[in-house]
Amino acid sequence: MEAYAFYVIDGPPGIGREFSGGGFNAVLRDYGRAGLMMLNRGRANGHQILPASYVIESTTASTTSDSETKVAHLGYAYFWWPVLNSRAYVALGGEDQFIYVDPATKTVVVKMSHGPVGPDAEAQEQETLSFLDAASRWKLR
């Protein structure tokens, strides 16, 4: 990693605690490195950081319907959200942040912008997923 990461905590410094499932903060390049490690089945800088079998298991949807995940077009597995009917998967951050990994096209995209919260969030998320899918399949002619 290039820089120290940190967690948002649920109380004042020294008293609050990290919470499960969110609040992790890192710089864009380090999120990209995490995505590349996942793309390379757990390998980074010539070292096997995670077992390849774990990477496969953690990116294979155990929930596969929109009604189960409450997120259209995404399954869920170990903090990764597999894009249904695709080999791609994403890590979803608060307010529309993404690490998008598509093994089929060897693509990793990190999106760090801030999107809407509330009723408009789902439409924004779907637009982002559509864009990332199109970007991963784009080829120079």
22 CB neighbour count, 10 Å cutoff: 12
pLDDT in tens, 11-44: 777 787 776 667 788 899 999 999 999 999 999 9
**Whole-model pTM?**
0.86
> What's the token pair of residue 47?
């070292």
Domain boundaries, the chain: 6-137
Of the options 1.10.490.10, 3.40.710.10, 3.40.190.10, 1.10.10.10, the CATH number for the domain spanning 6-137:
3.40.710.10
pLDDT in tens, 42-77: 999 999 999 999 999 999 988 887 777 777 788 888
Lowest mean pLDDT among 10-14, 75-79, 134-138: 10-14
Q: Are 106 and 137 contacting, i.e. CB atoms less than 8 angstroms apart?
A: no
With a pLDDT cut of 90, the percent of the chain lying above it is 48
pLDDT the model gives residue 21: 66
